[in-house]
Amino acid sequence: MRDTFFSWNISFNRNHRVTLLVVLFSFYIILCTLLSSCGSRTDPSSKAAVPTRVKSKEIKNENSTSQTEADTAIEVMDEKEIRFNGQLKRYFSFKEFQLVLGKPDSTKLLSEIEPCTTIFQEADGSVDPEARYLYKNGSRFECSRGKVAIDQVRFSDGDFLIFHHQSLNKNTTVSALKKLFPNAAKYIADIDVADEGKLQVMLLREDKDNVSDGHIKIFIKNGKLYSMHWWFPC
């Protein structure tokens, strides 16, 4: 009986030791695995930092490109920012014309001239048969159904424009125009104009978004501002 008990006790101790060793070994394997996993894991914040820096560079490059385009774009003469003879906008009524400028020096029906484009042309392409050009001090205006718009300005005969708080008149020099429109001034060209001879011309945009297909022609004669025309393609 004692031998049996002793034998069973030895067997129990052995089994207990084996079980303990298995548990310790398993714990060791799990611990090593955890340590290895932690050591090889990359800090998430470091991964996020790289795309952030790249994105920042991309935004900086886009802003730089936009700024460069803005710095080199031909300047805009927005019709809302001008005042003819310091008082009239580009569009006004015939009553305002008479009040500020008096009676026209002469008039001519558009149907007699048949211009390829008109300012007050209807959506269907038609033009009021009574629409006409008004001429005053060499400048030309289009008039239709009581509405008037500036078409051409002749500075040489005394008319002038206020633009950005500056007066553009017959005494405005090429140098002054270059300061006001530095990008457009880079493309000043010589041109032969019917009944006018050889002039210099500079082009301006009508709006910053380039919605209009037309542009503004600034004519220079003998180094001074001579005339201006709102041009639109046929």
The verdict on residue 64 lying in a domain is no
b/e per residue 79-96 (b: at least 16 CB within 10 A): beebebbeebebebebee
Backbone φ/ψ region at 146: left (φ over 0), alpha (ψ -120 to 50), beta: left
Strand partners, 134: 107, 141
Phi, then psi, of 57 in degrees rounded to 5 = -65, -40
Return d(Cα 193, Cα 219) in angstroms, integer: 10
Which among 67, 63, 70 is positioned nearest to 208, based on CA atoms?
A: 70
Q: Is residue 48 part of a domain?
A: no
- % residues pLDDT > 70 (the chain): 70
SS3 per residue for 144-199: ECCEEEEEEEEHHHCCCEEECCEEECCCCEHHHHHHHCHHHHCCCEEEEECCCEEE
Report pLDDT digits (tens) over 160-211: 999 999 999 999 999 999 999 999 999 999 999 988 899 999 999 999 999 9
Calpha distance 103→194 (Å, rounded) = 27
**What pLDDT band is residue 18 in, cutting at 50, 70 and 90?**
very low
Q: Which domain holds residue 95?
A: 79-231
Please indicate, yes or no, if residue 65 is contained in any of the structural domains: no
Residue 213 lies in a domain: yes
User: How many independent structural domains does the chain possess?
Assistant: 1
Mean pLDDT of the chain: 82
Overall pTM surpassing 0.85 (yes/no): no
Q: State the Cα–Cα distance between residues 161 and 165, nearest whole angstrom.
A: 10
CB 136 within 8 A of CB 208: no
Whether 196 is in a domain gets the answer yes
Tokens 């030791």, residue located: 17
Helix (H, G, I), strand (E, B) or coil at 218: strand
Q: Tell me what pLDDT residue 48 has.
A: 42
Q: In this structure, is residue 42 part of a structural domain?
A: no
- Is residue 182 in some structural domain? yes
- What whole-number distance in Å separates Cα of residue 57 and Cα of residue 49? 13
Neighbours of 49 (CB within 10 A): 11
Q: Does residue 145 lie within any of the structural domains?
A: yes
Report the percent of the chain where pLDDT is more than 90: 62
How far apart are the C-alpha atoms of 86 and 102, rounded to whole Å?
15
pLDDT digits (tens, 9 = 90+) for 32-74: 555 555 444 444 444 444 344 445 555 555 655 555 555 789 9
